[in-house]
Amino acid sequence: MGFDLTKEQQELKERVTAFVRDKVIPFESDPRRTAHGPTDPLRDDLVALAKAEGLLSPHVSEAWGGMGADHMTKAIMFEASGYSMLGPIAMNIAAPDEGNMHLFDEVATEAQKEQYLRPLAGGEKRSVFLMTEPSPGAGSDPSAMLTEARPDGNGWKISGTKWLITGAEGAEMGIVMARTFDDAGEDIGASMFLTPLPADGLKITRVLDTMDSSFTGGHAVVEMDGLRVDGDAVLGEVGKGFRYAQVRLAPARLTHCMRWLGAAQRAHDIACDYAREREAFKTKLIDHEGVGFQLADNEMDMHTARLAIWHCAWVLDQGEPGGRESSMAKVICSEALYRVADRALQVLGGLGMTRDTEVERIFREMRGFRIYDGPSEVHRWSLAKQIKRRGNG
C-alpha cells in the first residue's frame, strides 16, 4: 500500500475541489436548503452542474453511467466533495442513493439495472432503503425485523412500518427489507424487494424533525399495508437479504467517513482562518496555547481518520469484504471528526454558535454520524466478539 496519489487521482482531486469551491459553495445560502434538507429542485440544479463538469456518480461502473472509480479514488473524490455538504448531493454520491447504486451494481439483474440503476446513476431519480423500524423492530439488531413479505400469486405482499427512512419524500424507487415467508408460512429469512414509488400500499405517514438537514427528502416514517411486488422484484435471491445488506453497508460506512472528513476539514479551515485574524488579550487567538493546541489536535484527528479510510479502501480494492476494517474506520472517523467539529466551534466562540459560518451546521449534522450505519457501541461489540473468537492464535 502506498500513499502517493496517481496522476489521475490528483487531477480528480483538483477538479472536485475547484468544482465545490466555485460552483457548489455559492448555493449554501440558497433558500431551497430547508430544515428537511435541500429540495428536489435545488438538487436538480446541483446535479446538472456536476453532470456538466463530468463529475456525476464516480462510484458507478461506466457501463451504467458512472466513472468506474475504485475505492481509493472514491476516497479522494468523496472527501473533496464533502467540503460542502451540498457537494455529495451535486455529484450524486449522497446517502442513501450512493449505497443503493453500489448494491444494484453488485447484485441486480441486467433488467433491474436498466430500470433502477441507470436513472439513479444519471441523477434523474432518487431512491430509498427501507430497513430501519421503530421499536421493537429492526434497528441496530436487524434480526428483530417485523416487516413481513408473504407470497401472493406470482409475487409478494409486504406489510410493516419503517422509520428514519432517508429521502422518502420525492423518491421514485425503493429497496424494501422484509422477513420472508413461504407458502407454508415458514420463515425463510430476510429478502430485498424493489418497488417503483409512489406505490399502492405504501405511504409516508410522517416526516421527522431531526438534528440534521443535509439529505434531500429528509427522514420519514413509512407504512406498508399490502404493498404488492412481482416475483421479478426480488433483488438477488430470496432469503439472502442480510447477506446483501453487508454488501451495501461495508462500503457505505466508508463513504460516510470520506464525505464527513471533507466537512471536518471545512470546519477546521474556517476555525484556522478565524484564529489567525481574531485578537484577544492583544494576541492572535492562534498564539494562545488553548486555541493552538485544539487546532493541532484537529489535524491529528483528521490525519488518523484519513489513514483509516485509505487503509479500508485499499482492503476493499484487494477484493476483501472489509467488514472489520470498515467497522474500525466508522468508529474512528465518526468520533474523531465530531471532535474536530466541536473544537472548531469552540475556537470560533460566539461566532460558532451562529449560522454566519458553516461550522454550526457541520457540528450539528456530524453528531448523527455516530449513530447511523451502526452506532459506535455496536461496532465495538462486533470487534470485541471477533477478538474473542481469535483468541491468542
DSSP letter at 304 equals H
Is 392's pLDDT higher than 80?
A: no
pLDDT for residue 73:
98
Q: At 226, is the pLDDT very low, low, confident or very high (cuts 50, 70, 90)?
A: very high
Distance in angstroms (rounded) separating the CA atoms of residues 216 and 39: 6
The predicted-structure confidence for 229-277, as pLDDT tens digits, reads as follows 999 999 999 999 999 998 888 888 999 999 999 999 999 999 999 999 9
Q: In this predicted structure, what is the pLDDT of residue 64?
A: 97
Nearest to 16 by CA among 64, 63, 75: 75
Grouping H, G, I as helix, E, B as strand and the rest as coil, residue 244 is helix
Q: How far apart are CA 75 and CA 78, in angstroms?
A: 5
Predicted confidence (pLDDT) at residue 393 exceeds the cutoff of 80: no
* pLDDT tens-digit map of 320-330: 999 999 999 99
Q: Which tens digit of pLDDT belongs to each residue from 301-320? A: 999 999 999 999 999 999 99
Residue 223 has pLDDT above 90, yes or no: yes
Residue 62 CA to residue 393 CA, distance in Å, equals 43
Output 248 or 179, whichever has higher pLDDT: 179
Confidence (pLDDT) at 251: 86
Q: Cα separation of 25 and 47, whole Å? A: 14
Rounded-to-integer distance, Cα 237 and Cα 301, Å = 41
Assess whether pLDDT exceeds 90 at residue 87.
yes
pTM: 0.96
Tell me the C-alpha distance between 41 and 20, whole Å: 18
**What was the pLDDT predicted at 217?**
96
Cα(274)–Cα(357) distance, rounded to whole angstroms?
Answer: 11
Domains in the chain, please, with CATH? Answer: 7-121 (1.10.540.10), 127-239 (2.40.110.10), 242-390 (1.20.140.10)
Per-residue pLDDT reduced to its tens digit, 354-387: 999 999 999 999 999 999 999 999 999 999 999 9
Question: Of residues 248 and 115, which shows the higher confidence score?
Answer: 115
283 forms beta bridges with 280
